[in-house]
Structure formats: structure tokens, C-alpha cells
Structure 1
């Protein structure tokens, strides 16, 4: 689905020769885990061209703004950053500015008009061409928001990640067409990567020190790359050195009935598959779910969770919620609050509905006033925080393994993830990032838990 845009080409601002010989790049990522993965891969592409990453846009030759159209005020954040970046530096230069991701895909023509300082506009399915686009941009702005038939993964360089945990995109795009969502228009239809490619990439990540892999997709449980998602998980579990497997984001429709049986069974049968599932419901009202074209109801969603809990009794659940969808009444919202209390989410993400041009919901009647959305969001977030704290308290006294991922604030502290995706703070002399350590959870906060090393041996989760 190529888009041809005819615009006056604006020549980029000339730059004084940089003091450093090696070109530097900075990637700023907005939004979801898929964008985090894409940002890492753009870094791989630029590194393969001999460039070096920098933590600050102020000393970068190229700044990539990887945007997400799902989050509120996505466009405003993009233009705000462009406004700062276009200001000349002391030597009169400015970086080459790249607008990438879903906002670039959906609003490429508008970005070109509103932000002449942007040198490259590239969609999420074309960023493997970034070096070529940067080369072409020396002669004027370049736009590539095509959706090519050749998957970008075939053209990407080897992963350069060296962390304890890594994302692995297995599926992209969406065929669900929720009435509020732009993903089918910015990421295209559902496509799956071949299982053999994924198994090889996962093995290479483990060889580089990765202990945990999170499988990514807009609808990850719709994966169909020669195996089902449960089949892929079972194959990945055979990789020596891979300790943990997670996946996100799932769609309830693909978990319902017989279609979800194999994946639910994997939670009971595959020890490396962590007891955590992110399953967005969006609303607790079946009436609003129908208006959203979610293809599940409140009751079918709760039935799926019951099947999951029967298979894995300690599974932790998280979800997504949208408040203020067109036509949402106070009674509908009360059903959303009640499902939060009924499910007992370990974590959840909540947003106010915001209009996405081109989506069916944008033209629906009965748009909810912003003041009502704000008030409902505050109440929902209070209920979610209460549920999260309550879940964390239920884990006090549990023994489990924690994958250490980063230093803590205090000397000797390390922070890692429990099997239930809680951030756990632990002090353990001699431990290093990447270690899996056995701990006991001793206290709980709203967003984390504190753990201590196990004094005696016991089979941890």
C-alpha cells in the first residue's frame, strides 16, 4: 500500500563538520514494546553502517523520533521535539531529523508540511532502509511510508543486543479493526515471521547472554509462522541457556474457545513460560465492547481468565483500559471499575479515549467531554493501583527466582523481575546483572517488591 506524495523538497540545514570523526545517532522511542524493539533494530541498522549510539540528542548527528500513534498526544510530542531539535547549535549546525514509526506512517504528508526541518519520514515497515534514506536526504527531504511486500526482517542486520532480557518480534499488523485503533492502517495486515527464523534468532540472542525473551506482536497469539504461538514457545523452550519466555500483546478473541486451548495448556506445561499474561479488555461493558468492535464480551473475557487460572493457579494478569469511549455512560464505566475489582489485576494500563483521524470512532456520536474522561480516568487509576498493591501483598512470603536486570539506587542493590513481572529490589553481594537468583519476597509497594536471598534451598517458581 504505497503512498505517493508530491511536495516541494526542502533542502536540509547545512551542518558544520563535526568534531568527532565517527557519526553518532540517538533514537528516542515513544509508546509500546513494539516501538522499543523497532528502536533497537534501527540502532542495529545504523551501527552496522559504522555509526555510534549516544545517550543525548545534543551531540548526535542523526536523531530518530520513533513515534507511537496509540498513545495520547502522540503528534504533539513529536512536533515539540522537532521544535527543539531544529534550533541551531553553537556551531550553527543541527542534527538530521528522522520522524519514524506509526505517526510518521499515518501523518507523513502533514509532518512534511508542518515540520520542514524533518529530513526523513519513514514508516514502521520501511526502517530497514534508513541508511539509504539518510544518504538520499542529503539532497532534500525523503519520505518512505510504503508497506513493502518483502518483510523488513529479511534485510535487517544481526542483533547487537547484550542484555539479560530481549524482545523478539514474531508477528506484526492487525486484522481486528477495533473502531478506535489505527494499527491496521499503520502496521498493515497480520503477518508472521517463519518459525525457523525466530528459533535461530532466539538462539543467537541466548549466545549473546540473553536469559529471557519476550515474544512481540500486535496480536501475538494470532502468530502463524508454520507453528502456532504455543508450538513456537515449546520449540524455544528447548534452547539451552534460555531461562524465561514471555509474550505480549494478546487479543481476547484469539484466546477464546478451542482456539486458545493449546496456548493455555502451555502455561501449565512449559516451565520456562512465565506465569504472567497481558490480555487487554479495554472496557468492562459488553455494550461498549461491541461499539469498539472488540469481538469479545465481558463474560467471554472472564471465562478465558477462568480457564487460564485453572491451568496455572498463580498466573498474574494485566490489561489495558480506555475510558470515555463515545457513548460510554456512568453505568458502563461502573462495569469497568467492577471488572478491575473482580479480576484483581497485577498491573494495568489506562488511557482516555482520544480521536484518531480515519477511524470509525472518530465520527461516532456522543463523544464524551474531556472533563468526564479526566474524572473517570482518575477513579480507574485509583482502582488499578489498589489492585496492584493488593496483588503484590499476596506474593509476600513466596520464594521465586529473580532475573537481575539493572543496578538499584543504593550501593549493592540490584533490580530484577520476578516470574510475575514485578520489579524486585534485592541486595546480594557478588551477584551481577543477568544472574537468576533465588529470593523470598518480604515486602510490597505499589510498583515493586523487596526481596532477600533465600537462606535455605527450596524449589522456587
Structure 2
């Protein structure tokens, strides 16, 4: 492959962790002399960063792969890579299914992409799915945004939720050191980024694998301590974190979020089910009463906080009454956003083998009923914004209306307003005039630059 013909394309499926991994792999590829192309059919290297949380995401990967595999028969220098969770789960079985593949690599190997590709370019078909210690981030990611950046703080997951394949494919928890995380954020501040989101599959577990405890027996490094460690980084004006686990979510963390001005009042805390029997079958390790207490404490400290979550309907054995408990929790709490999914059996998970699997019709019906309630409650929650002046970090132009800019409130609501592109990257004040279920519209009341009328 000649240097001037090196073009790559990455398609990313799934969670924020995958998006962050893709940005790092893009940075590695550009360091190797590749140029990004939007069109996979124009690329010499096509990489699919895959997700195996639900079956439909996995099937979509195979559909995309089939197209590129056929293309490879006409274009011998095409390099095909499958990364991420499907790669980790399937391993060499992927090569049997798609023999045109050059590289199959699990998420723990993202930082090794250059080394693995050198083996491919030497004529080898490579599978990298063995557990390894994740190398410290030394690559410069090719970030999709110039305003907000993902920062991985902990990889892997030690939980054993009975429906979830993530621990099998992402490995055990490995926390990055506070110094390495802070150094990355300092560099982001220097580059002009205004917001960072600290990422972990189970971010509340941060630090428990790092050495050191306090005299009281508390881990020396926790998410709360990390927030304090990075809070004063110059240039960074907003800090977010995800994804939280109710089992480990503490009042100490809530107090720090209320106290630290840069930490946004936005919490993503999956509850999965509102029924204690289902939660126990899921091995989640908390009750719906504990979950409700967490939300109550957040709203006591930060009444206008944005709260989002994940929920699963149709878990094996879920009765109509147990599903109703989920509806009751959603109705009572009123989420700003809820990611919902019908249960999908995943290979290698206990729940996939259980009897009492529910029919697709029952799951679809429950999902539709839950989504209907979510929209109603989100629209109700949105009304609190009407007439308020919100701080909005301007991210980009509205792709559907060139006269508008768009950004997010501290509570993570997408907000549209009339304004010029020079406002990108600024925090501006917007008076909210229209509140929809999942987005807001307003007009600019304060900005450093003049805006077009």
C-alpha cells in the first residue's frame, strides 16, 4: 500500500466507550499516515468498532461486513478490521464466518492497533483477544468534536449482571492513574476544549483497583477524589461523568457534584427495572428503594439536575405486575431521558439460558408502553426550563437550520437558538422560549461576540 493511497474509515456501534476507543484508533491511524474518508468504499482500511449489547447491533455489523468482504475480492489491498465487543466475543469464529477479515481485536487492544496492523501488512491474519494490561493512553485521538472530549478513566467491568456480556468482552476493571488522567485533561484545556466527560463502564468503581486506603479504610482514589483532582484544570469549564452504578453511588459523590462549580448537574444512572425480584435476578445488587433514595438525594442538593437512565423490559420471567413496577418508578421519578431496550439474550450470559423467555410480541408491547410514558414524563420535566436563562455550551450549527446554533445546558438538554458560527465553543446565556420532550429552543441574551439577527 503506497503512502498516498492510505485512507481509512471507521464505523462505530454502541456506547460512549466505543466512541472514545474509535477516536483513539483514528489517532493511531493518522499517526501511521492514513487520512480519514467518510465513504467506506473509498477507504483502503475499513474498521468496524462493534457492540454486542443487543443482537440487532451485532447483526448490523455482519451486514456491513458482508458488503466490504465482497469488495475485497476486487480490491486486494483492502484491509478489513473488526474491533470492539463482537470481536472479543467471537474471536477466531469471526474468521471462519468472514475469512476476508485481516484483523480481529478486542477493546483491550485498541492502543495496540499500530503493532497489530504491522503484523497484518507483513502478510498475517491476526486475532488479538487475549486479556492484557491496557497500555496507558499515549496516542492523540482524532476527536469528533472540537468543544467536548471523552476521557477514559477506567476500563473493563467486574460486575456480573446476568444479562450483560460486557465483563466477558471488556475484561476486568483497570483504573488509569489520577496523574495520567489529569495530564490528558490539561492537554485538552491547552487545545481549547471546554468540556470533558470522564468515561467508565462502571465509573463509580474508579480507583478501587489502585493502591492505597485512608485511615478510615476508604479507597484513596475514588471518583469523588478524581473530580477534585481535575477540577482546577485551566480552560476546562465543564466536567461530566458516565456511567454510574446505583450500588456504588454515594452521598459523598453527590455532595462533591453540588460543591464543585465545573461539575455539571447531570447524572446517568441506569436502574434497569423497578422491581426488586427482577433486580435480584439481574444481579444488580440494589433495590428500587435504594435507587429512589439516590435520586431524592440528588434533587435535594441540585433540584434542577438532569437525570437520565437505562431500562430493560421483558427480562426472563418478568410478569405484567413486575413491569408495572418499572412504569411506576418512571412515572414517579420523571426522567429527562431514558434509554430503553427489550431484553435480548446474549451469548455466554446466564439469563440467556433461563426458561421463561418472553415472546417478542410481549417485549415489543412493553417497550412501546414504556417509551410512551417516557415521552410524557420528559415533556413534563422540560417545562421547568420555560422562561429560565440557561448556560449553553455551543457545540455546532444546527444541521437542519443554518441560522441556528446548538449546544447543551449543564443538565445536558440540547438547546437551539439563532446565532452565528463564531459562537462555537463559547458558553452563552439563552432564555428558553420553547420546551419539547428532549430539546429546547430559546434566544441569546448574553454572549461575548455579536450575533447575526
TM-score range, shorter chain: over 0.9
CA distance in 1, matches of 2:255, 2:234: 22
Question: Which residue of the partner structure matches residue 31 of structure 1?
Answer: 14
The alignment's TM-score, normalised by the length of structure 2, stands at: 0.92
Cα distance in 2 for residues equivalent to 1:108 and 1:123 = 8
Within 2, Cα distance between the matches of 1:146 and 1:302?
Answer: 40
User: For the Cα contact (< 8 Å) 1:417–1:423, is it kept in 2?
Assistant: yes
- Structure 2 counterpart of 1:170, from 153, 160, 167: 153
Q: 1:194 aligns to what?
A: 177
Q: Is the 8 A contact 2:429 2:447 kept in 1?
A: no
Q: Is the 8 A contact 1:87 1:94 kept in 2?
A: no
Alignment partner of 1:392 is 2:375: no
SS in 2 for 1:252: coil
Q: Cα deviation per residue 1:232-264 (whole Å; 9 max; x = unaligned)?
A: 111211112111000000000001xxxx12211
- Counterpart for residue 236 of structure 2: 242
> Distance between the aligned counterparts of 1:455 and 1:170, measured in 2?
35
Structure 2 runs not aligned, ≥5 long? 211-219, 449-453
Residue 227 of structure 1 aligns to a residue whose secondary structure is coil
Residue of structure 1 equivalent to 2:401: 410
- Once the two structures are superposed, the pairs formed by residues 418-457 of structure 1 within 5 Å of their partners are 418-429=409-420, 431-454=422-445
Number of residue pairs matched by the alignment: 434
Cα shift at 1:94: 6.3
Change (3 A) 1:75 1:410: closer
Contact 2:433–2:441 (CA<8 Å) still a contact in 1? yes
Query: In the alignment, is residue 182 of structure 1 matched against residue 182 of structure 2?
Result: no
Mark the CA change 1:180 to 1:27 in structure 2 (over 3 Å): closer, same or farther: same
- In the other structure, the counterpart of 1:120 is 103
Distance across 2 between alignment mates of 1:71 and 1:212: 30
RMSD: 1.8
| Aligned equivalents of 2:243, 2:107: Cα separation in 1 | 17
1:157 to 127, 139, 147: 139
* CA pair 455-133 structure 1, distance change in 2 beyond 3 A: closer
| Other-structure match for 1:59 | 42
CA gap 1:115/1:152 in 2 versus in 1, 3 angstroms:
same
Shift of residue 455, structure 1, vs aligned partner: 6.4
Deviation at 1:48, TM superposition (A): 1.1
Match of 1:132 among 115, 122, 126: 115
Residue of structure 2 equivalent to 1:359: 349
Aligned: 1:380 with 2:370? yes
Say if 1:121 and 1:143, in contact at 8 Å, map to a contact too.
yes
8 Å Cα contact 1:85-1:94 kept in structure 2: no
The gaps in structure 1 that reach 5 residues or longer are: 1-16
Q: Please tell me whether the aligned partners of residues 88 and 94 of structure 1 are also in contact (alpha carbons under 8 angstroms).
A: no
8 Å CA contact retained: 2:157, 2:170: yes
- Superposition deviation, residue 102 in structure 1: 0.6
Provide the rounded CA distance (Å) in 2 between the counterparts of 1:310 and 1:368.
38
1:200-232 CA distance string (max 9 Å, x none): 100101111110000000110111155211111
Residue among 32, 56, 68 paired with 1:73:
56
CA distance in 2, matches of 1:89, 1:390: 52
Alpha-carbon shift at residue 152 of structure 1 (Å): 2.5
Q: How does 1:280-299 map to 2 (within 5 A)?
A: 280-299=270-289
**Residue 214 of structure 2: aligned partner:** none
Q: How many Å apart are 1:411 and its aligned residue?
A: 2.5
